[in-house]
Amino acid sequence: MPELPEVETTISEIKPEILGKKIVDVFCTEKKIVKKPKFEKFVEQIKGKKIQKIWRKGKYIVFELSGGKVMLLHLKLTGHLLVGKWKKVKKNFLPLTPGPISTDPINKFVRLVFVLNNKKMLALSDLRKFAKIEFGDKEEIFSSKEFQKIGPDPFSVNFEQFKQILLKKKKKRIKETLMDQELVSGIGNIYSDEILWEAKIHPLKKVSELKDEDFKNIFLATRKILKKAISLKGESISDFRRPSGEKGYFDTERKVYKREGENCLRCSEKIKRIKIKGRSAYFCPSCQK
């Protein structure tokens, strides 16, 4: 699932390509992606709108458009945005852009395409079809219950604020707490594992059991890991691809995620995997206490 670094990478790389451009048409093979309003009304209202601002709220991509309109996009499990050119043939979009957009199989699941007035296209590729779009007036979108409950960004809080946020869920295990989007937004399965390995904290440890030094280590690890992941353009071990269709490079830094049975890069103990509420957690049983 695209997390904070992948969403941040996407935004930084689509901005030079589409900011200030007008949406002249929309084509879609999966209308259910547009949750609000109905697809036909969405197309009618978004045509002619200029893309004025693009920013991130947690894992959401926020497109501020002319006329006081906003498009909210969540990439969910397997979604990613691409910038290039496509041709619609029956129920499929065929890529006309050379390079990884055409050659990497994970980029072939294009479900929705925005045609822009600079002859480029912004496409959503999504294997599982879980991505979602909401469109409406700025005030309506920003005041919605779902948008309002998104927690603060990890980079927007200081250590004491971060600690107090985690302490709101004292009885919860630290991995669950880090992934709670209403507490602190943007961290998912991949980076929670990497953060806890860096901080030497066991994923099952309850927040109430953490010492002040533990909180500090988690805080510092959060910033370090996320900044590193952003600088390396995200993690592409699964479905995420950059708008160019290329992979991110964080895989070179991955210490525990999906490394079950491999040696810990710090102490050589075998990495283990456990399940926490149906989600896998990878950790070193020796380093992480």
Spatial distance between the Cα atoms of 13 and 82, rounded to a whole number of angstroms: 10
Strands 110-116 and 23-28: antiparallel
Which residue of the set 2, 95, 100, 154 is catalytic?
Answer: 2
Which residue of the set 59, 233, 242, 259 is catalytic?
Answer: 59
Which residue of the set 3, 64, 194, 198 is catalytic?
Answer: 3
Which residue of the set 169, 266, 279, 285 is catalytic?
Answer: 279
Cβ atoms of 215 and 196 closer than 8 Å:
no
Nearest to 68 by CA among 90, 84, 87, 53: 53
59 is catalytic: yes
Q: Give, for 130, the enclosing helix (H) or strand (E).
A: none
Helix-strand-coil percent breakdown of the chain, rounded to 5? 35, 25, 40
259 is catalytic: no
The two tokens of residue 153 are: 């960004």
3 is catalytic: yes
95 is catalytic: no
Spatial distance between the Cα atoms of 93 and 11, rounded to a whole number of angstroms: 23
User: Catalytic positions, please?
Assistant: 2-3, 59, 279
